[in-house]
Structure 1
Amino acid sequence: MKFKNLLTSSKGLTLVEVLVSLTILGIVLMGTMKFFSQAYTYTNMNEKKTAAVNVARNALMHIEKENFIEVREEFRNDKDHYLNLLICDRAYETFWNGETPEPNCSPIIVNNIEYNVTINLPKNEVENINSAKGEHSSFFVPLKATVTWEINGKEESTEIEGEIKSEDLR
């Protein structure tokens, strides 16, 4: 009965009632805004990670166009060997560890973020490539592309694995 009287009363609301309702509304809105802020941050991080995965895929596609025998032999001769992929004069260039890139070379830039690409053997495949036993190891080289980038002073990375195959099979 009291609730009905409160709704039908023509007195209006007191200042305390207005302040309490505004406080409750503010708390609910702050929680909602926090959700949108976190969703934006998550979407932004996923956008950069998607770009990094695409950069890694492009790197593996570029390596597949390289001379298969030279790449296979480099990895067979030194299991810790790796390739860096840079852009030089608007084209991809690969540099083995120890090789100095030309001054006009830079990391791959997508949406003003620098992505550094390293290509090496996956750890579980090091023994297989060095043994060179079996048909599979003669015609395929498993590779891992690691892409790193920096956001707000924090380094992020992603990896994808793939294989390059001999020209004899193409």
Structure 2
Amino acid sequence: MNYKKIFANSRGFTLIEILLSLTILGIIIIGSMQFFSQAYTYTNMNQKKTAAVNVARNALMYIEKENFIIVRDVFEKNPDEELTIKICEQKYKSFWKDKPIDSSCEDITINNVKYNVSIRADKILDPHDSTYSFYVPLKVNVHWTINRKEHTTELDGAIKSEDIR
């Protein structure tokens, strides 16, 4: 093949050649845009889950500041007891399962996503256990809804008595 002849040709490209090259370029661009779309969705979901984990940690820190003996005794008497954390007047407030929740209270909201927080005992407390007086293992569940799809995350933690701090 004579390359000088091809490059010296001044006729330009035909319409078919241009359309074919645009089609190939379009397929490549659409494929790469799909990658970016999936990466954005994944990053957005991880952002919401990270916020939920931070909400759960804050709930554990809030409960740790409550009266240790009262919390431990309630979970000992009823292992199925559940504690709900809400925001009332810009402060955290806890509600036991059988207590009514104040109507002015609402779920914890971060970036327009409402997180519903509940805390349960992680295991049945045994008064004969050596850690009973100082340690209560808890499980924090955080639920949120995005586009009518339910999401949840769970955090294991514990509260410690003021006596060992």
Q: Same fold (TM over 0.5)?
A: yes
Aligned-residue offset at 1:154: 0.3
Q: Which amino acid aligns with 2:159?
A: I
Aligned residues: 165
CA distance in 2, matches of 1:2, 1:167: 90
Aligned-residue offset at 1:3: 6.1
SS in 1 for 2:132: helix
CA distance in 2, matches of 1:160, 1:134: 23
Gaps of 5+ in 1: none
Q: Which amino acid aligns with 1:146?
A: N
Q: Counterpart of 1:163?
A: 158
Rate the CA distance shift 1:91–1:11 in 2: closer, same or farther, 3 A. same
Aligned-residue offset at 1:20: 0.7
Q: Which amino acid aligns with 2:38?
A: Q
1:73 lines up with 2:68 in the alignment: no
1:104 lines up with 2:104 in the alignment: yes
Deviations 1:12-70 (A, max 9, x none): 11111111100000000001111111111111111111111111000000000000011
Q: Counterpart of 1:28?
A: 28
Q: Counterpart of 1:84?
A: 84
Q: Which amino acid aligns with 1:121?
A: A
Aligned-residue offset at 1:115: 0.5
Report which stretch shifted further, 132-141 or 22-31.
Answer: 132-141
Gaps of 5+ in 2: none
Q: Which has the higher helix share?
A: 1
Q: Which amino acid aligns with 1:162?
A: G
Q: Which amino acid aligns with 2:76?
A: R
1:150 lines up with 2:162 in the alignment: no
TM-score using structure 1 length: 0.92
Q: Counterpart of 2:129?
A: 134
RMSD of aligned Cα (Å): 1.3
CA distance in 1, matches of 2:143, 2:158: 20
Runs of 4+ aligned residues of structure 1 deviating over 6 Å after TM superposition are none
Rate the CA distance shift 1:10–1:152 in 2: closer, same or farther, 3 A. same
CA distance in 1, matches of 2:136, 2:56: 16
Aligned-residue offset at 1:138: 2.2
CA distance in 2, matches of 1:150, 1:54: 17
